[in-house]
Amino acid sequence: MGHSVPPLSDKSLLKSQAYVNGKWVDAKSGKTFEVTDPSTQKTIGTMPEMDASDTQAAIDAASAALPSFRKTTGRERARMLRKWYQLMVDNADDLAKLITWENGKPMADAKGEVAYAAGFFEWFSEEAPRAYGDTIAATIPGNRIFTIKQPVGVCGLITPWNFPAAMITRKIGPALAAGCTVVAKSPGETPFTAAALAELAHRAGIPAGVVNIVTAMKNTAEVGETLTSSPIIKKVSFTGSTGVGKLLMKQSSGTLKKLSFELGGNAPFIVFDDADLDIAVAGAIASKFRSSGQTCVCANRLYIQSGIYDKFCDAFAEKVKGFKVGGGYDEGVTHGPLIHDRAVSKVAAHVKDAVEQGGKVLVGGQKMPDLGSNFFQPTVIRDMTSQMSLAHEETFGPVAGLFKFDTEAEVVKQANDTEVGLAGYFFSKDIQRCYRIAEALEVGMVGINTGLVSDAAAPFGGVKESGFGREGSKYGIDEYLTIKMVTMGGM
């Protein structure tokens, strides 16, 4: 298996096959692709390179499993999800090791992700028995109206590598709670965590065909097209970039699928003069540098009011100097590698562009070839301006650009000057301002005096070109249900 990794206590969680119709399978073509550890670039293992025909087999399995699964009671599905949740908790260390191996994030972060990911199964096990309709007073005499909620059917799920467990459970949890069956394409970069989750689904007694995991790297677009054009698939839920989201939406139009898309962000992070400096710095560290800046809700543009700007720059840079970058398993490491060298190139280009236009690097700014080709120094740049690439594009890496602003009106305008709107953050002690800014930001999620907003209990999602639909919370299950209205006459 390539190189040393802390051994899994349960080796049977490490798979090299896809999971279809309750069985571990290879691609029909026999082809495989290699997966590498982003820290060392060594091969972790291989997974089947599946194509349209393999995907179709998974769709057929999910379709065959649907009639009996949709008839199970919410309480029965709750029990299955609860078992799956408990198995994730019981195997949390092994799951975290797999996440660190294939994604690179430090073990502490990986353990946090497992708890967050399992939380969606726990949450939706509680929602499953409560998906019921209404009785409605009719306006037509003699009529009676009621509604029932029914599963949309077979769902196609596509998720990215940055949260190898949580992005998948955030979709499968509500889908199963609603009574849907699923075909999930695991991320090419991080398929092993998804496969381990499938193994736990098997042990939890989820019936064959209800959860199917297909794997692909080179054939990703082909798998995506099969899922989005299939008349059997009634819903597609995608988390990833805005560009791929637009493509999948086009592909889904032929069969008019129900869609939910969690796409790219470009989060503003605003610190007003009246904020508590320590809390704002801690919030910025958590929001900007978690997973080395590779989260969709990461602060991308940090706007600091002029009265506190210099103090904030210095305190923030000081904290970043204390980071330890390295392999995710290494003792004391706070920040890991980026996922691949393309990500490093994008980060380097954003830094170069900022420096050429007058940005001043306070910390970092360089690649880290001594550690490996996927490492980039955590970087802080001050004196940013709105012309720089970092102001317009999602960096998705460990670079914090600090912009100075004077007035509330000016910063709201700048914060909203982007096509996307996922998360936004601000720090202030003024209660009226807190309401004003929370209402003014064009985003789906706001953090006030905190840099972390993710919680299974809270609705997660964006506005504008960050997509639509909500995951988690009481709303998450609605994405997988249709409302059927029944009118009974002649009463």
Positions marked active-site = 262, 296
Which CB sits closer to ligand NAD, 97 or 464?
464
The one-character DSSP state at 325 is B
- Comparing CB distances to ligand NAD, the nearer of 138 and 221 is 221
Please identify which residue in 58, 96, 263, 271 interacts with ligand NAD, judged by CB under 6 A: 263
For ligand NAD, which stretch binds (CB under 6 A), given 3-11, 17-25, 241-249, 278-286? 241-249
Q: Per CB under 6 A, which of residues 385..444 are in contact with ligand NAD?
A: 394, 396, 422
CB closer to ligand NAD, 305 vs 454: 454
Q: Determine, following the binding rule CB under 6 A, whether residue 221 of this chain makes contact with ligand NAD.
A: yes
Q: For ligand NAD, which residue has the nearest CB?
A: 224
- From residue 75, alpha-carbon distances to 14, 82, 230 in Å are 31, 10, 30
Stretch that binds ligand NAD, among 1-9, 69-77, 123-131, 219-227 (CB under 6 A): 219-227
Interface of this chain with ligand NAD, residues 167 to 206, rule: CB under 6 A:
187-188
* Nearest distance in Å: CB 203, ligand NAD: 25
For ligand NAD, give the closer residue by CB, 298 or 317.
298
Residue 43, C-beta contacts closer than 8 angstroms, at least 6 positions apart = 2, 34, 35, 36, 37
220 lines the binding site for ligand NAD (CB under 6 A): yes
| Cβ density class 223-258: b for 16+ within 10 Å, e for less | bbbbbbebebbbbbbbbbebebbebbbebbeeeebb
Candidates 296, 351, 390, 400; binder of ligand NAD (CB under 6 A) is 296
Give the list of residues 6+ apart from residue 98 with CB closer than 8 angstroms, or none: 8, 13, 14, 164, 192, 193, 196
Q: Does 262 bind ligand NAD (CB under 6 A)?
A: yes
Of the listed pieces 19-27, 239-247, 314-322, 480-488, which binds ligand NAD according to CB under 6 A?
239-247
Q: Is 158 in the site for ligand NAD (CB under 6 A)?
A: yes
Q: Give the Cα separation of 114 and 165 in Å (integer).
A: 7
Which CB, 74 or 265, lies closer to ligand NAD? 265
Would you list the DSSP string of 55-92? HHHHHHHHHHHHHHHHHS-HHHHHHHHHHHHHHHHHTH
**Closest residue by Cα to residue 28 from 36, 20, 40:** 20
Residues 359-388 binding ligand NAD (CB under 6 A) are: none
CB of 242 to ligand NAD, least distance (A): 7
> Looking at 172-180, 204-212, 218-226, 379-387, which segment touches ligand NAD (CB under 6 A)?
218-226
Nearer to ligand NAD, 45 or 444 (CB): 444
Given phi > 0 = left and psi -120 to 50 = alpha, else beta, which region is 179? left
Q: Is 147 exposed, middle or buried (0-12, 13-18, 19+ CB in 10 A)?
A: middle
| Nearer residue to ligand NAD within complex by CB, 393 or 430 | 393
- 265 touching ligand NAD, by CB under 6 A: yes
Phi, psi of 239 (to 5 degrees): -120, 125
Q: Binding mask 49-68 vs ligand NAD (x if CB under 6 A, - otherwise)?
A: --------------------
Strand partners, 33: 47
User: Could you tell me which residues are beta bridge partners of residue 335?
Assistant: 325
- Using rule CB under 6 A, residue 162 touches ligand NAD: yes
**How many residues bind to ligand NAD according to rule CB under 6 A?**
24
Helix ranges restricted to H, 179-308: 191-203, 220-229, 242-252, 277-289
Q: Taking CB under 6 A as the rule, does residue 156 contact ligand NAD?
A: no
Determine if 161 is a binding residue for ligand NAD (CB under 6 A): yes
Long-range contacts from 132-138, C-beta under 8 angstroms, 24+ separation: 133/483, 133/484, 138/487
Q: How far, CA to CA in Å, does 24 sit from each of 138, 311, 359?
A: 52, 56, 52
* Cβ proximity to ligand NAD, 220 vs 229, nearer residue: 220
Burial class (CB in 10 A: 0-12, 13-18, 19+), 267: buried
- Decide: is 476 part of the binding site for ligand NAD (CB under 6 A): no
C-alpha torsion sign, points 33, 192, 453, 347: negative
CB of 454 to ligand NAD, least distance (A): 9
Q: Does 244 bind ligand NAD (CB under 6 A)?
A: yes
Angle at Cα 144 formed by Cα 138 and Cα 147, nearest 5°?
90
Among 16, 40, 239, 260, binds ligand NAD (CB under 6 A): 239
With CB under 6 A as the contact rule, the residue among 145, 247, 438, 446 that binds ligand NAD is: 247
Is the CB of 258 or the CB of 464 nearer to ligand NAD?
A: 464
Q: Given candidates 48, 74, 106, 160, which one binds ligand NAD under the rule CB under 6 A? A: 160
Distances (CA, A) of 5 to 37, 42, 96, 186, 433: 10, 11, 12, 22, 49
Q: What is the dihedral of CA 182, 185, 187, 192, to 10 degrees?
A: 70
Select from 152-160, 199-207, 304-312, 397-405 the region that touches ligand NAD (CB under 6 A).
152-160
Q: How many CB atoms lie within 10 A of CB 53?
A: 12
Cα angle value 21/24/26 (rounded, 5°): 105
Closest distance of CB 164 from ligand NAD, Å: 10
> Which spans of this chain sit near ligand NAD (rule: CB under 6 A)?
158-162, 187-188, 220-221, 224, 239-241, 244, 247, 262-265, 296, 394, 396, 422, 462
